[in-house]
Protein backbone atom coordinates (compact mmCIF):
# COMPACT_ATOMS: atom_id res chain seq x y z
CA UNK A 1 0.00 0.00 0.00
CA UNK A 2 1.29 3.42 -0.93
CA UNK A 3 0.62 6.11 1.65
CA UNK A 4 2.43 9.38 2.19
CA UNK A 5 1.90 11.64 5.17
CA UNK A 6 2.88 15.26 5.41
CA UNK A 7 2.36 17.56 8.38
CA UNK A 8 0.92 20.97 7.64
CA UNK A 9 3.29 22.99 9.81
CA UNK A 10 1.57 26.29 10.33
CA UNK A 11 0.81 28.48 13.27
CA UNK A 12 -1.39 31.50 13.25
CA UNK A 13 -0.25 33.09 16.46
CA UNK A 14 -3.48 34.96 17.11
CA UNK A 15 -5.40 31.70 16.77
CA UNK A 16 -3.48 29.50 19.14
CA UNK A 17 -1.53 31.98 21.24
CA UNK A 18 -2.35 32.24 24.89
CA UNK A 19 -0.73 34.30 27.62
CA UNK A 20 1.52 32.33 29.95
CA UNK A 21 -0.29 31.44 33.15
CA UNK A 22 1.55 32.13 36.37
CA UNK A 23 2.31 29.10 38.47
CA UNK A 24 1.46 30.48 41.88
CA UNK A 25 -1.42 28.77 43.61
CA UNK A 26 -3.61 31.86 43.57
CA UNK A 27 -2.88 32.67 39.96
CA UNK A 28 -3.41 29.08 38.88
CA UNK A 29 -6.78 28.98 40.62
CA UNK A 30 -7.85 32.24 39.03
CA UNK A 31 -6.67 31.03 35.65
CA UNK A 32 -8.68 27.83 35.93
CA UNK A 33 -11.79 29.82 36.77
CA UNK A 34 -11.08 32.22 33.92
CA UNK A 35 -10.56 29.44 31.39
CA UNK A 36 -13.89 27.86 32.30
CA UNK A 37 -15.53 30.84 30.60
CA UNK A 38 -15.50 31.22 26.83
CA UNK A 39 -14.00 34.34 25.27
CA UNK A 40 -17.32 36.11 24.74
CA UNK A 41 -18.24 35.76 28.42
CA UNK A 42 -14.77 36.81 29.56
CA UNK A 43 -15.11 39.88 27.36
CA UNK A 44 -18.50 40.65 28.91
CA UNK A 45 -17.04 40.46 32.40
CA UNK A 46 -13.99 42.55 31.51
CA UNK A 47 -16.23 45.23 30.00
CA UNK A 48 -18.12 45.51 33.28
CA UNK A 49 -21.39 44.12 31.94
CA UNK A 50 -24.09 43.54 34.55
CA UNK A 51 -26.94 42.35 32.38
CA UNK A 52 -28.11 38.76 32.37
CA UNK A 53 -26.31 36.34 30.08
CA UNK A 54 -27.86 33.37 28.33
CA UNK A 55 -25.32 30.59 28.85
CA UNK A 56 -24.71 26.86 28.41
CA UNK A 57 -23.18 25.39 31.55
CA UNK A 58 -21.29 22.11 31.15
CA UNK A 59 -21.11 20.12 34.36
CA UNK A 60 -19.68 16.89 35.70
CA UNK A 61 -21.88 13.92 34.69
CA UNK A 62 -23.08 13.37 38.25
CA UNK A 63 -23.66 17.02 39.09
CA UNK A 64 -26.36 18.22 36.72
CA UNK A 65 -29.23 17.95 39.21
CA UNK A 66 -27.25 19.74 41.93
CA UNK A 67 -26.25 22.58 39.62
CA UNK A 68 -29.84 22.93 38.43
CA UNK A 69 -31.03 23.25 42.04
CA UNK A 70 -28.31 25.79 42.78
CA UNK A 71 -29.33 27.90 39.80
CA UNK A 72 -32.96 27.81 40.84
CA UNK A 73 -32.02 28.80 44.38
CA UNK A 74 -30.24 31.87 43.01
CA UNK A 75 -33.29 32.80 40.97
CA UNK A 76 -31.64 31.97 37.66
CA UNK A 77 -33.95 30.74 34.91
CA UNK A 78 -33.16 27.23 33.68
CA UNK A 79 -34.20 27.05 30.02
CA UNK A 80 -33.11 23.57 28.97
CA UNK A 81 -31.06 20.54 29.92
CA UNK A 82 -28.78 18.69 27.53
CA UNK A 83 -28.20 15.21 28.86
CA UNK A 84 -26.14 14.27 25.81
CA UNK A 85 -23.36 16.73 26.66
CA UNK A 86 -24.04 17.08 30.42
CA UNK A 87 -25.08 20.70 30.15
CA UNK A 88 -27.74 23.16 31.26
CA UNK A 89 -28.92 26.28 29.44
CA UNK A 90 -29.77 29.09 31.83
CA UNK A 91 -29.96 32.86 32.19
CA UNK A 92 -27.36 34.04 34.70
CA UNK A 93 -26.31 37.52 35.78
CA UNK A 94 -22.96 38.61 34.39
CA UNK A 95 -21.75 39.38 37.90
CA UNK A 96 -22.44 35.76 38.91
CA UNK A 97 -20.46 34.09 36.13
CA UNK A 98 -17.06 34.01 37.84
CA UNK A 99 -18.54 32.57 41.01
CA UNK A 100 -20.38 29.95 39.00
CA UNK A 101 -17.18 29.11 37.10
CA UNK A 102 -15.37 28.49 40.39
CA UNK A 103 -17.84 25.73 41.33
CA UNK A 104 -16.00 22.41 41.07
CA UNK A 105 -19.14 20.84 39.60
CA UNK A 106 -18.87 23.16 36.60
CA UNK A 107 -16.63 22.09 33.71
CA UNK A 108 -17.15 25.17 31.57
CA UNK A 109 -19.54 27.98 30.68
CA UNK A 110 -20.27 29.06 27.12
CA UNK A 111 -22.44 31.77 25.69
CA UNK A 112 -25.69 30.44 24.27
CA UNK A 113 -24.63 32.18 21.11
CA UNK A 114 -26.99 33.42 18.45
CA UNK A 115 -26.67 31.29 15.32
CA UNK A 116 -27.42 32.55 11.84
CA UNK A 117 -27.56 30.97 8.40
CA UNK A 118 -24.56 31.13 6.08
CA UNK A 119 -26.54 32.18 3.03
CA UNK A 120 -26.02 35.52 1.31
CA UNK A 121 -28.55 37.42 -0.71
CA UNK A 122 -27.80 36.55 -4.29
CA UNK A 123 -28.18 40.07 -5.61
CA UNK A 124 -26.70 39.83 -9.09
CA UNK A 125 -24.29 42.72 -9.57
CA UNK A 126 -24.69 43.82 -5.95
CA UNK A 127 -22.79 43.67 -2.71
CA UNK A 128 -24.18 42.65 0.67
CA UNK A 129 -22.91 45.18 3.17
CA UNK A 130 -20.90 44.58 6.30
CA UNK A 131 -17.37 44.29 7.62
CA UNK A 132 -14.94 41.53 8.42
CA UNK A 133 -11.98 42.60 10.53
CA UNK A 134 -8.72 41.20 9.12
CA UNK A 135 -5.46 41.36 11.09
CA UNK A 136 -2.41 40.33 9.10
CA UNK A 137 -4.61 38.52 6.60
CA UNK A 138 -6.18 36.50 9.42
CA UNK A 139 -9.89 37.08 9.84
CA UNK A 140 -10.35 38.49 13.30
CA UNK A 141 -13.55 39.55 15.02
CA UNK A 142 -16.43 38.14 13.04
CA UNK A 143 -18.79 40.99 12.31
CA UNK A 144 -21.66 40.86 9.82
CA UNK A 145 -19.86 39.97 6.64
CA UNK A 146 -19.84 41.57 3.26
CA UNK A 147 -19.53 39.67 0.03
CA UNK A 148 -19.79 40.38 -3.64
CA UNK A 149 -22.49 38.07 -5.01
CA UNK A 150 -22.15 39.20 -8.60
CA UNK A 151 -21.69 36.69 -11.38
CA UNK A 152 -23.83 34.42 -13.51
CA UNK A 153 -26.80 32.57 -12.07
CA UNK A 154 -26.13 28.84 -12.02
CA UNK A 155 -28.74 26.83 -13.87
CA UNK A 156 -29.62 23.66 -11.92
CA UNK A 157 -28.86 21.54 -14.99
CA UNK A 158 -25.36 23.02 -15.21
CA UNK A 159 -24.83 22.42 -11.49
CA UNK A 160 -25.69 18.75 -11.91
CA UNK A 161 -23.51 18.41 -15.00
CA UNK A 162 -20.44 20.00 -13.41
CA UNK A 163 -20.83 17.56 -10.52
CA UNK A 164 -21.20 14.70 -12.98
CA UNK A 165 -24.61 13.59 -11.71
CA UNK A 166 -26.93 14.65 -14.50
CA UNK A 167 -28.71 11.32 -14.82
CA UNK A 168 -31.60 9.42 -13.24
CA UNK A 169 -29.45 6.56 -11.93
CA UNK A 170 -29.25 7.92 -8.41
CA UNK A 171 -31.71 10.24 -6.69
CA UNK A 172 -31.21 9.70 -2.95
CA UNK A 173 -33.79 6.93 -2.63
CA UNK A 174 -34.02 5.54 0.87
CA UNK A 175 -31.88 8.34 2.34
CA UNK A 176 -33.12 10.66 5.08
CA UNK A 177 -31.85 14.20 5.68
CA UNK A 178 -32.50 16.31 8.78
CA UNK A 179 -32.40 19.97 7.79
CA UNK A 180 -31.77 22.04 10.92
CA UNK A 181 -32.61 25.54 9.75
CA UNK A 182 -35.50 28.01 9.46
CA UNK A 183 -38.06 25.37 8.52
CA UNK A 184 -39.64 24.57 5.18
CA UNK A 185 -42.53 26.04 3.21
CA UNK A 186 -44.57 23.14 1.94
CA UNK A 187 -45.19 22.80 -1.80
CA UNK A 188 -45.31 20.07 -4.41
CA UNK A 189 -41.49 20.24 -4.41
CA UNK A 190 -41.57 18.16 -1.23
CA UNK A 191 -44.85 16.23 -1.52
CA UNK A 192 -44.94 12.95 0.40
CA UNK A 193 -41.32 13.33 1.44
CA UNK A 194 -41.59 15.09 4.80
CA UNK A 195 -41.13 12.37 7.41
CA UNK A 196 -41.47 14.74 10.38
CA UNK A 197 -41.42 18.44 11.21
CA UNK A 198 -40.57 19.90 14.63
CA UNK A 199 -40.12 23.39 16.06
CA UNK A 200 -37.24 23.73 18.57
CA UNK A 201 -37.22 27.49 18.90
CA UNK A 202 -37.17 29.05 22.36
CA UNK A 203 -36.80 25.76 24.17
CA UNK A 204 -39.81 24.13 22.51
CA UNK A 205 -40.06 20.68 20.96
CA UNK A 206 -43.31 20.73 19.05
CA UNK A 207 -44.51 18.62 16.16
CA UNK A 208 -45.81 21.14 13.62
CA UNK A 209 -46.83 21.45 10.00
CA UNK A 210 -43.80 22.66 8.00
CA UNK A 211 -43.49 26.45 7.77
CA UNK A 212 -40.65 28.83 6.95
CA UNK A 213 -41.07 32.49 7.86
CA UNK A 214 -37.50 33.35 6.81
CA UNK A 215 -36.91 31.31 3.65
CA UNK A 216 -33.39 29.98 4.07
CA UNK A 217 -34.34 26.45 5.11
CA UNK A 218 -36.63 25.96 2.11
CA UNK A 219 -33.87 26.97 -0.28
CA UNK A 220 -31.42 24.61 1.45
CA UNK A 221 -33.88 21.72 1.28
CA UNK A 222 -34.66 22.49 -2.36
CA UNK A 223 -30.97 22.47 -3.22
CA UNK A 224 -30.53 19.13 -1.50
CA UNK A 225 -33.54 17.45 -3.00
CA UNK A 226 -36.37 19.54 -4.37
CA UNK A 227 -38.37 17.52 -6.90
CA UNK A 228 -38.57 20.33 -9.46
CA UNK A 229 -42.33 19.79 -9.62
CA UNK A 230 -42.97 23.53 -9.86
CA UNK A 231 -40.72 23.93 -12.90
CA UNK A 232 -41.18 22.92 -16.53
CA UNK A 233 -40.08 19.30 -17.03
CA UNK A 234 -38.78 19.36 -13.43
CA UNK A 235 -35.76 21.27 -14.73
CA UNK A 236 -35.12 22.91 -11.35
CA UNK A 237 -34.91 19.76 -9.26
CA UNK A 238 -32.30 19.40 -6.54
CA UNK A 239 -29.37 17.02 -6.40
CA UNK A 240 -31.26 14.16 -4.73
CA UNK A 241 -34.97 14.56 -5.58
CA UNK A 242 -36.02 11.32 -3.88
CA UNK A 243 -34.60 11.95 -0.40
CA UNK A 244 -36.91 12.25 2.57
CA UNK A 245 -36.70 15.18 4.92
CA UNK A 246 -36.95 15.67 8.65
CA UNK A 247 -37.50 19.40 9.17
CA UNK A 248 -36.10 20.71 12.46
CA UNK A 249 -36.80 24.41 12.88
CA UNK A 250 -34.36 26.45 14.98
CA UNK A 251 -34.25 29.86 13.23
CA UNK A 252 -36.96 32.50 13.47
CA UNK A 253 -38.41 34.85 10.88
CA UNK A 254 -35.28 37.04 11.00
CA UNK A 255 -32.94 34.10 10.47
CA UNK A 256 -31.72 33.98 14.07
CA UNK A 257 -31.74 31.25 16.68
CA UNK A 258 -29.88 30.00 19.74
CA UNK A 259 -27.10 27.44 19.97
CA UNK A 260 -28.99 25.53 22.67
CA UNK A 261 -31.93 24.99 20.32
CA UNK A 262 -29.60 23.68 17.61
CA UNK A 263 -28.09 21.27 20.14
CA UNK A 264 -31.54 20.02 21.10
CA UNK A 265 -32.41 19.53 17.43
CA UNK A 266 -29.20 17.55 16.87
CA UNK A 267 -29.94 15.42 19.93
CA UNK A 268 -33.45 14.78 18.61
CA UNK A 269 -32.05 13.66 15.27
CA UNK A 270 -29.65 11.27 16.99
CA UNK A 271 -32.32 9.87 19.31
CA UNK A 272 -34.69 9.34 16.37
CA UNK A 273 -32.11 8.25 13.82
CA UNK A 274 -33.67 4.83 13.31
CA UNK A 275 -37.31 5.76 13.87
CA UNK A 276 -37.23 8.61 11.33
CA UNK A 277 -34.58 7.21 9.00
CA UNK A 278 -32.07 10.02 9.47
CA UNK A 279 -28.74 9.49 7.70
CA UNK A 280 -27.48 13.06 7.30
CA UNK A 281 -27.78 16.30 9.27
CA UNK A 282 -27.40 19.53 7.27
CA UNK A 283 -26.16 22.53 9.28
CA UNK A 284 -26.03 25.58 7.01
CA UNK A 285 -25.65 27.88 10.01
CA UNK A 286 -23.25 28.75 12.78
CA UNK A 287 -21.69 31.30 15.11
CA UNK A 288 -18.15 32.62 15.70
CA UNK A 289 -15.75 30.31 17.51
CA UNK A 290 -15.38 31.35 21.15
CA UNK A 291 -13.45 28.39 22.57
CA UNK A 292 -11.61 25.19 21.63
CA UNK A 293 -13.59 22.46 19.91
CA UNK A 294 -13.19 20.17 22.93
CA UNK A 295 -15.29 22.52 25.07
CA UNK A 296 -17.61 24.03 22.44
CA UNK A 297 -21.11 22.67 23.24
CA UNK A 298 -22.29 22.79 19.62
CA UNK A 299 -19.17 20.99 18.40
CA UNK A 300 -19.60 18.32 21.05
CA UNK A 301 -23.20 17.74 19.95
CA UNK A 302 -21.95 17.29 16.37
CA UNK A 303 -19.24 14.87 17.51
CA UNK A 304 -21.81 12.83 19.41
CA UNK A 305 -24.02 12.66 16.32
CA UNK A 306 -21.10 11.42 14.24
CA UNK A 307 -20.28 8.74 16.81
CA UNK A 308 -23.91 7.64 16.54
CA UNK A 309 -23.42 7.11 12.81
CA UNK A 310 -25.11 10.29 11.52
CA UNK A 311 -23.23 12.19 8.82
CA UNK A 312 -23.03 15.89 9.74
CA UNK A 313 -22.40 18.41 6.96
CA UNK A 314 -21.61 21.95 8.18
CA UNK A 315 -21.01 25.29 6.49
CA UNK A 316 -17.53 26.78 6.77
CA UNK A 317 -18.93 30.31 7.08
CA UNK A 318 -18.93 33.41 4.87
CA UNK A 319 -16.06 35.24 6.58
CA UNK A 320 -13.29 34.96 4.02
CA UNK A 321 -12.87 38.52 2.76
CA UNK A 322 -12.52 42.07 3.98
CA UNK A 323 -15.00 43.97 1.78
CA UNK A 324 -13.22 47.27 2.44
CA UNK A 325 -9.70 46.24 1.43
CA UNK A 326 -10.62 43.28 -0.75
CA UNK A 327 -8.08 41.14 1.08
CA UNK A 328 -8.89 37.51 1.63
CA UNK A 329 -8.26 36.29 5.15
CA UNK A 330 -7.60 33.14 7.11
CA UNK A 331 -9.13 31.85 10.33
CA UNK A 332 -12.76 32.63 9.48
CA UNK A 333 -14.25 29.16 10.05
CA UNK A 334 -17.32 29.28 12.29
CA UNK A 335 -18.76 26.80 14.78
CA UNK A 336 -19.80 24.00 14.21
CA UNK A 337 -17.60 24.01 11.10
CA UNK A 338 -14.67 23.50 13.49
CA UNK A 339 -16.06 20.13 14.58
CA UNK A 340 -13.33 17.59 13.73
CA UNK A 341 -15.76 14.95 12.45
CA UNK A 342 -18.11 17.26 10.57
CA UNK A 343 -17.79 17.53 6.80
CA UNK A 344 -17.10 21.26 6.61
CA UNK A 345 -17.80 22.88 3.26
CA UNK A 346 -16.52 26.04 1.60
CA UNK A 347 -18.10 27.70 -1.44
CA UNK A 348 -17.06 27.68 -5.10
CA UNK A 349 -18.18 30.07 -7.83
CA UNK A 350 -18.93 28.26 -11.05
CA UNK A 351 -19.45 30.44 -14.11
CA UNK A 352 -22.59 28.63 -15.26
CA UNK A 353 -20.28 26.39 -17.29
CA UNK A 354 -19.75 22.65 -17.02
CA UNK A 355 -15.91 22.51 -17.30
CA UNK A 356 -14.06 23.12 -14.05
CA UNK A 357 -11.18 25.26 -15.30
CA UNK A 358 -13.01 28.56 -14.70
CA UNK A 359 -14.21 27.63 -11.20
CA UNK A 360 -12.90 29.77 -8.34
CA UNK A 361 -13.31 29.64 -4.59
CA UNK A 362 -15.67 32.42 -3.54
CA UNK A 363 -13.81 35.25 -1.82
CA UNK A 364 -16.30 35.22 1.03
CA UNK A 365 -15.82 31.50 1.73
CA UNK A 366 -14.20 31.07 5.15
CA UNK A 367 -10.71 29.62 5.28
CA UNK A 368 -8.91 27.77 8.05
CA UNK A 369 -7.19 27.20 10.31
CA UNK A 370 -9.78 27.04 13.06
CA UNK A 371 -9.34 29.29 16.05
CA UNK A 372 -7.69 27.69 19.12
CA UNK A 373 -7.20 24.23 17.59
CA UNK A 374 -5.70 25.18 14.21
CA UNK A 375 -7.58 22.39 12.42
CA UNK A 376 -7.32 22.40 8.65
CA UNK A 377 -10.78 23.33 7.42
CA UNK A 378 -12.82 23.31 5.22
CA UNK A 379 -12.76 19.63 4.30
CA UNK A 380 -13.95 20.23 0.73
CA UNK A 381 -15.36 23.09 -1.31
CA UNK A 382 -18.50 22.88 -3.42
CA UNK A 383 -20.62 25.06 -5.73
CA UNK A 384 -22.46 27.61 -3.61
CA UNK A 385 -22.70 30.85 -5.57
CA UNK A 386 -25.98 32.08 -7.09
CA UNK A 387 -27.69 28.73 -6.67
CA UNK A 388 -31.33 28.42 -7.76
CA UNK A 389 -33.68 26.37 -5.58
CA UNK A 390 -37.24 26.29 -4.26
CA UNK A 391 -38.48 29.52 -2.71
CA UNK A 392 -40.46 30.06 0.46
CA UNK A 393 -42.79 32.55 -1.18
CA UNK A 394 -44.31 33.64 2.13
CA UNK A 395 -40.90 34.03 3.76
CA UNK A 396 -39.04 37.19 4.68
CA UNK A 397 -36.30 36.85 2.06
CA UNK A 398 -38.67 36.34 -0.86
CA UNK A 399 -41.07 39.06 0.27
CA UNK A 400 -38.38 41.62 1.08
CA UNK A 401 -36.00 41.05 -1.84
CA UNK A 402 -38.01 40.47 -5.02
CA UNK A 403 -34.75 40.55 -6.99
CA UNK A 404 -33.97 37.13 -5.51
CA UNK A 405 -36.63 35.59 -7.72
CA UNK A 406 -35.41 33.33 -10.50
CA UNK A 407 -36.89 33.39 -14.01
CA UNK A 408 -39.46 30.99 -12.63
CA UNK A 409 -41.01 32.84 -9.69
CA UNK A 410 -41.42 29.64 -7.66
CA UNK A 411 -37.64 29.61 -7.24
CA UNK A 412 -35.02 32.01 -5.94
CA UNK A 413 -31.26 32.30 -5.79
CA UNK A 414 -28.93 32.54 -2.81
CA UNK A 415 -25.17 32.39 -2.40
CA UNK A 416 -22.91 31.21 0.39
CA UNK A 417 -21.41 28.26 2.16
CA UNK A 418 -24.97 27.38 3.20
CA UNK A 419 -25.71 26.53 -0.41
CA UNK A 420 -22.39 24.71 -0.84
CA UNK A 421 -23.25 22.64 2.22
CA UNK A 422 -26.64 21.74 0.76
CA UNK A 423 -25.02 20.75 -2.55
CA UNK A 424 -22.64 18.49 -0.63
CA UNK A 425 -25.46 16.97 1.41
CA UNK A 426 -27.41 16.17 -1.76
CA UNK A 427 -24.31 14.59 -3.28
CA UNK A 428 -23.77 12.47 -0.17
CA UNK A 429 -27.35 11.22 -0.46
CA UNK A 430 -26.53 10.00 -3.98
CA UNK A 431 -23.34 8.37 -2.71
CA UNK A 432 -25.20 6.54 0.06
CA UNK A 433 -27.85 5.26 -2.33
CA UNK A 434 -25.21 4.04 -4.79
CA UNK A 435 -23.17 2.29 -2.11
CA UNK A 436 -26.20 0.66 -0.51
CA UNK A 437 -27.45 -0.55 -3.86
CA UNK A 438 -24.09 -2.19 -4.58
CA UNK A 439 -23.79 -3.70 -1.10
CA UNK A 440 -27.27 -5.11 -0.59
CA UNK A 441 -28.10 -2.78 2.31
CA UNK A 442 -29.29 -3.38 5.02
CA UNK A 443 -27.77 -6.87 4.99
CA UNK A 444 -24.44 -5.03 4.84
CA UNK A 445 -23.86 -1.79 6.73
CA UNK A 446 -23.99 1.69 5.27
CA UNK A 447 -20.92 3.88 4.94
CA UNK A 448 -19.82 5.52 8.18
CA UNK A 449 -19.51 9.31 8.46
CA UNK A 450 -15.70 9.07 8.46
CA UNK A 451 -15.72 6.82 5.40
CA UNK A 452 -17.98 9.28 3.56
CA UNK A 453 -15.65 12.17 4.36
CA UNK A 454 -12.64 10.15 3.22
CA UNK A 455 -14.34 9.26 -0.08
CA UNK A 456 -15.32 12.89 -0.74
CA UNK A 457 -11.79 14.08 -0.02
CA UNK A 458 -10.03 11.32 -1.95
CA UNK A 459 -12.07 11.93 -5.10
CA UNK A 460 -12.01 15.75 -4.87
CA UNK A 461 -10.56 17.75 -7.76
CA UNK A 462 -7.96 20.51 -7.80
CA UNK A 463 -9.17 24.09 -8.09
CA UNK A 464 -6.97 27.01 -9.09
CA UNK A 465 -6.95 30.77 -8.65
CA UNK A 466 -6.70 33.40 -11.39
CA UNK A 467 -2.92 32.98 -11.49
CA UNK A 468 -3.27 29.28 -12.17
CA UNK A 469 -2.03 28.25 -8.73
CA UNK A 470 -3.85 25.59 -6.77
CA UNK A 471 -5.50 27.00 -3.68
CA UNK A 472 -3.84 25.98 -0.42
CA UNK A 473 -5.52 23.42 1.87
CA UNK A 474 -6.76 26.12 4.23
CA UNK A 475 -8.97 27.38 1.41
CA UNK A 476 -9.83 24.30 -0.60
CA UNK A 477 -9.44 21.55 1.99
CA UNK A 478 -8.87 18.39 -0.02
CA UNK A 479 -10.30 20.01 -3.15
CA UNK A 480 -13.51 20.66 -5.04
CA UNK A 481 -16.43 18.26 -4.70
CA UNK A 482 -16.56 15.52 -7.33
CA UNK A 483 -19.92 13.82 -6.81
CA UNK A 484 -19.47 11.53 -9.81
CA UNK A 485 -16.10 10.29 -8.59
CA UNK A 486 -17.40 9.81 -5.05
CA UNK A 487 -20.26 7.68 -6.36
CA UNK A 488 -17.89 5.61 -8.52
CA UNK A 489 -15.59 4.95 -5.58
CA UNK A 490 -18.47 4.44 -3.13
CA UNK A 491 -20.06 1.78 -5.32
CA UNK A 492 -16.83 -0.21 -5.14
CA UNK A 493 -16.64 -0.18 -1.33
CA UNK A 494 -17.65 -3.41 0.42
CA UNK A 495 -18.67 -2.15 3.85
CA UNK A 496 -18.66 -5.69 5.28
CA UNK A 497 -14.90 -6.11 4.73
CA UNK A 498 -13.01 -6.74 8.00
CA UNK A 499 -11.08 -3.82 9.44
CA UNK A 500 -7.57 -3.63 8.03
CA UNK A 501 -8.39 -5.46 4.80
CA UNK A 502 -8.94 -4.25 1.26
CA UNK A 503 -12.57 -3.29 0.80
CA UNK A 504 -12.76 -2.29 -2.85
CA UNK A 505 -14.56 -4.81 -5.06
CA UNK A 506 -13.10 -3.12 -8.15
CA UNK A 507 -10.53 -0.44 -8.92
CA UNK A 508 -12.22 2.70 -10.24
CA UNK A 509 -10.02 4.85 -12.46
CA UNK A 510 -8.81 7.82 -10.37
CA UNK A 511 -10.20 10.45 -12.69
CA UNK A 512 -13.58 11.79 -13.76
CA UNK A 513 -14.69 13.15 -17.14
CA UNK A 514 -16.46 16.49 -16.75
CA UNK A 515 -17.15 18.89 -19.60
CA UNK A 516 -14.88 16.98 -21.95
CA UNK A 517 -11.94 17.02 -19.53
CA UNK A 518 -10.48 13.98 -17.78
CA UNK A 519 -9.75 15.33 -14.30
CA UNK A 520 -7.49 13.45 -11.90
CA UNK A 521 -8.67 12.89 -8.34
CA UNK A 522 -6.54 14.60 -5.72
CA UNK A 523 -6.32 11.32 -3.75
CA UNK A 524 -5.88 13.30 -0.54
CA UNK A 525 -7.32 12.82 2.92
CA UNK A 526 -6.80 15.60 5.47
CA UNK A 527 -6.70 13.97 8.90
CA UNK A 528 -6.86 16.80 11.43
CA UNK A 529 -3.77 18.80 10.48
CA UNK A 530 -2.17 16.01 8.47
CA UNK A 531 -2.32 15.48 4.72
CA UNK A 532 -2.33 11.83 3.70
CA UNK A 533 -1.78 11.06 0.04
CA UNK A 534 -2.07 7.72 -1.68
CA UNK A 535 -4.28 4.65 -1.51
CA UNK A 536 -5.53 5.08 2.06
CA UNK A 537 -9.19 4.65 1.11
CA UNK A 538 -8.60 1.25 -0.52
CA UNK A 539 -8.50 -0.33 2.95
CA UNK A 540 -11.19 -0.47 5.63
CA UNK A 541 -9.05 1.59 8.00
CA UNK A 542 -9.69 1.70 11.76
CA UNK A 543 -10.05 5.45 11.19
CA UNK A 544 -13.26 4.99 9.20
CA UNK A 545 -15.19 3.75 12.26
CA UNK A 546 -17.88 6.12 13.56
CA UNK A 547 -16.40 5.91 17.05
CA UNK A 548 -13.08 7.41 15.93
CA UNK A 549 -12.81 11.19 16.20
CA UNK A 550 -11.55 12.63 12.93
CA UNK A 551 -7.95 13.79 13.36
CA UNK A 552 -7.24 11.74 16.49
CA UNK A 553 -4.30 9.37 16.78
CA UNK A 554 -4.82 6.24 14.70
CA UNK A 555 -2.70 3.58 13.08
CA UNK A 556 -2.74 3.75 9.28
CA UNK A 557 -2.54 0.06 8.31
CA UNK A 558 0.41 -0.33 10.68
CA UNK A 559 2.60 1.86 8.47
CA UNK A 560 2.08 5.34 9.86
CA UNK A 561 1.09 6.59 13.31
CA UNK A 562 0.08 10.21 13.51
CA UNK A 563 -1.62 11.96 16.38
CA UNK A 564 -2.26 15.15 18.28
CA UNK A 565 1.38 15.32 19.42
CA UNK A 566 2.31 16.07 15.80
CA UNK A 567 -0.10 18.97 15.40
CA UNK A 568 2.53 21.70 15.67
CA UNK A 569 2.09 24.89 13.67
CA UNK A 570 5.44 26.60 13.34
CA UNK A 571 5.24 29.35 10.71
CA UNK A 572 2.73 32.11 11.49
CA UNK A 573 2.80 33.56 7.98
CA UNK A 574 3.58 30.61 5.71
CA UNK A 575 0.15 30.45 4.06
CA UNK A 576 -0.22 34.20 4.03
CA UNK A 577 3.12 35.01 2.38
CA UNK A 578 3.32 32.09 -0.02
CA UNK A 579 0.45 31.83 -2.41
CA UNK A 580 2.52 29.09 -4.06
CA UNK A 581 1.87 26.78 -1.09
CA UNK A 582 -0.76 24.89 -3.04
CA UNK A 583 1.77 24.37 -5.83
CA UNK A 584 4.37 23.10 -3.32
CA UNK A 585 1.93 20.58 -1.88
CA UNK A 586 0.78 19.52 -5.32
CA UNK A 587 4.36 18.85 -6.37
CA UNK A 588 4.85 16.55 -3.40
CA UNK A 589 1.84 14.41 -4.28
CA UNK A 590 2.22 11.07 -6.03
CA UNK A 591 1.65 11.87 -9.70
CA UNK A 592 -1.70 10.59 -11.07
CA UNK A 593 -2.35 9.34 -14.57
CA UNK A 594 -1.89 12.08 -17.19
CA UNK A 595 -4.95 14.24 -17.74
CA UNK A 596 -6.38 13.98 -21.23
CA UNK A 597 -8.57 16.61 -22.84
CA UNK A 598 -11.10 15.69 -25.47
CA UNK A 599 -13.60 17.69 -27.44
CA UNK A 600 -16.85 18.36 -25.63
Residues 181, 155 contacting (CB under 8 angstroms): no
Helix (H) or strand (E) holding 225: helix 216-225
CB 309 within 8 A of CB 346: no
3-state SS, residue 594: coil
In this structure, are residues 36 and 109 in contact, taking their beta carbons and an 8 Å threshold?
yes
Task: Check if the beta carbon of residue 191 is closer than 8 Å to that of residue 207.
Answer: no
List residues bridging with 270 in a β-sheet: none
CB 157 within 8 A of CB 235: yes
Q: Rounded to 5 degrees, what are φ and ψ at 369?
A: -75, 170
Q: Which stretches of 412-563 are DSSP H helices?
A: 417-439, 449-459, 473-476, 483-491
- Which residues, at least 6 apart from 493, have a Cβ–Cβ distance to it below 8 Å? 435, 438, 439, 447, 451, 455, 503, 504, 505
Q: What are phi and psi of 3, to 5 degrees?
A: -140, 130
- Quote the distance between the C-alpha of residue 444 and its chain's center: 28
User: CA 158, CA 41: separation in Å to the nearest integer?
Assistant: 46
Residue 398 burial by Cβ neighbours in a 10 Å radius (0-12, 13-18, 19+)? buried
Please state, in angstroms and rounded to a whole number, the distance separating the CA atoms of residues 227 and 238. Answer: 6
Q: Is 216 a catalytic residue?
A: yes
Active site residue 494: no
Residue 31 CA to residue 25 CA, distance in Å, equals: 10
Whether 88 and 68 have beta carbons less than 8 Å apart is answered as yes
| Whole-number Å distance between alpha carbons of 164 and 148 | 27
Catalytic residue among 418, 427, 529, 557: 418
Question: Which residue in 148, 181, 199, 279 is the catalytic one?
Answer: 181
Check 84, 86, 187, 216 and give the catalytic one: 216
How far apart CA 302 and CA 263 sit, in angstroms, is 8
Active site residue 181: yes
Q: Is 381 helix (H, G, I), strand (E, B) or coil?
A: strand
513 phi, psi to nearest 5 deg: -90, 120
Residues annotated catalytic, as ranges: 181, 216, 418
Amino acid sequence: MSTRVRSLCLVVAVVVGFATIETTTTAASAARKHLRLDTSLRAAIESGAHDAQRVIIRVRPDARAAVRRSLAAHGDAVLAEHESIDAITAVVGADELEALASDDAVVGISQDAVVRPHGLLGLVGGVVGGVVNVVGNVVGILLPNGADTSGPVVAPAVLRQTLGVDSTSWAGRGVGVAVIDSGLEMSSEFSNRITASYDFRNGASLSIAPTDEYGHGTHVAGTIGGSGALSYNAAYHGLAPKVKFVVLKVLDGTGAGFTSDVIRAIDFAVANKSALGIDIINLSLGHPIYEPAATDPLVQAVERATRAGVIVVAAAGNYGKNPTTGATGYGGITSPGNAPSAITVGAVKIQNTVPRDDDRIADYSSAGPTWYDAFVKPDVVSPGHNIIAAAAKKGYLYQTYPQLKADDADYMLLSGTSMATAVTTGSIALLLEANRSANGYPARPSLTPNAVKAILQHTALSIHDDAGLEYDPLREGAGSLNANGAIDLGRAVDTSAPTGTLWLTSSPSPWTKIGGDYLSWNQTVIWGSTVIWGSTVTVNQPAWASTVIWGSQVSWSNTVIWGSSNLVWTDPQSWVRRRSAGRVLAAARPQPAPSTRTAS
